[in-house]
Amino acid sequence: MPVFLLTNDDGYFSEGIRALREELKSLGRVITIAPDRNLSGVGHSLTFSMPLRIRRVDEDFWTVIGGTPADCVHLGYYVLLDGKKPDMVCSGINEGPNLGEDITYSGTVSGAMEGRILGIPSIAFSAFGGESKNFSEIAKVAKKVVIEVLEKGMPEDTYLNVNIPDLPQDQIKGFLITKQGRRAYKEKVLKLLDPGKKPLYWITATEFGWHLEEGTDYWAVYHGYVSITPLQLDLTNYRAMEILKKRLKFTTEVEK
Ligand SMILES: [Mg+2]
């Protein structure tokens, strides 16, 4: 029976994590450990500056007070599982997509990234579009991806970023392996005034837009497909290494 370690960045109370937990429970044991608050956009931060407390919510269900998604996976692995590798780390289902450059801010994707760092096959799940967010339907689609990966395996050094359109299952056109797309909106900063008339600033992302390039994550979900983007921990730009070797007076070789 497979063991899953499940986290998210929306908080342990969110509908998305509870729906995914229910679906995964039909496949194996699910140990859920998630932040006690909404930490969307927290990225891959790990808390070094203070100790953390784990609190029990329910059977195999825990929350980390003040903990990030990366903290949750880290503590889930080292404390709850006592360093025994689960078969898979799942993160989500996030309430909203994680596409293009946004994945660098994403706590959801970072939960899966932490799983991969610990050597565990890991998948991040996010919901795209829709007003109602039918998480029980979205979780059924997520389960199909989990089953496929459990059966066939994942390449080394890889974790998956999966975005699922919020559509009835029969309206989902299929599953596409995609590349990371590019966002085309201007980040906006709202200026507000506090009661003392001093300025406050609120970073928002209200003006959305994407480069609709075929083969990308955004193109897939926009057209009703589930987007599966393989990501890697190694951020090295190997093509640039070759270019820089020619262009700069630096080299990759050690002089002997
Ligand atoms: Mg979130």
Digit-coded pLDDT (tens) for 63-87? 999 999 999 999 999 999 999 999 9
Q: CA 212 to CA 202: how far, in whole Å? A: 28
Domain assignment present for residue 198? The answer is no
What digits encode the pLDDT tens for the residues 110-156? 999 999 999 999 999 999 987 778 999 999 999 999 999 999 999 99
Q: How many domains does the chain have?
A: 1
60 is in an annotated binding site: no
Domain assignment present for residue 236? The answer is yes
Q: CA 152 to CA 125: how far, in whole Å? A: 19
What is the distance in A from the centroid of ligand 1 to the CA of 75? 20
94 is in an annotated binding site: yes
What digits encode the pLDDT tens for the residues 144-192? 999 999 999 999 999 999 999 999 889 999 999 999 999 876 678 889 9
Domain assignment present for residue 253? The answer is no
What is the distance in A from the centroid of ligand 1 to the CA of 21? 16
Q: Which residues pair with 204 in a beta bridge?
A: 188
CATH number for the domain spanning 37: value is 3.40.1210.10
What is the distance in A from the centroid of ligand 1 to the CA of 198? 30
Q: What 3-state DSSP class applies to 171? A: helix
Distances (CA, A) of 198 to 96, 203, 240: 33, 17, 45
Mean pLDDT of the chain: 94
What is the distance in A from the centroid of ligand 1 to the CA of 187? 18
Q: Which residues of 188-226 are buried (b: 16+ CB within 10 A; e: fewer)?
A: eeeeeeeeeeeeeeeeeeeeeebeeeeebbbbbbbeebb
Domain assignment present for residue 215? The answer is yes
Cβ contact 21:92 at 8 Å: no
What is the distance in A from the centroid of ligand 1 to the CA of 14? 9
Domain assignment present for residue 191? The answer is no
What is the distance in A from the centroid of ligand 1 to the CA of 42? 9
What is the distance in A from the centroid of ligand 1 to the CA of 47? 18
What is the distance in A from the centroid of ligand 1 to the CA of 106? 7
Q: Which two tokens stand for residue 93?
A: 């289902």
Domain assignment present for residue 189? The answer is no
Decide which of 131 and 230 is more confident.
230
Q: Considering the chain, what percentage of its residues have pLDDT values greater than 90?
A: 86
Cβ contact 163:217 at 8 Å: yes
9 is in an annotated binding site: yes
Residue ranges in the chain assigned as alpha helix (H): 15-25, 69-75, 107-117, 135-152, 217-222, 238-247
Domain assignment present for residue 112? The answer is yes
| Amino acid (1-letter code) at residue 95 | E
Q: CA 49 to CA 256: how far, in whole Å? A: 43
What is the distance in A from the centroid of ligand 1 to the CA of 36? 13
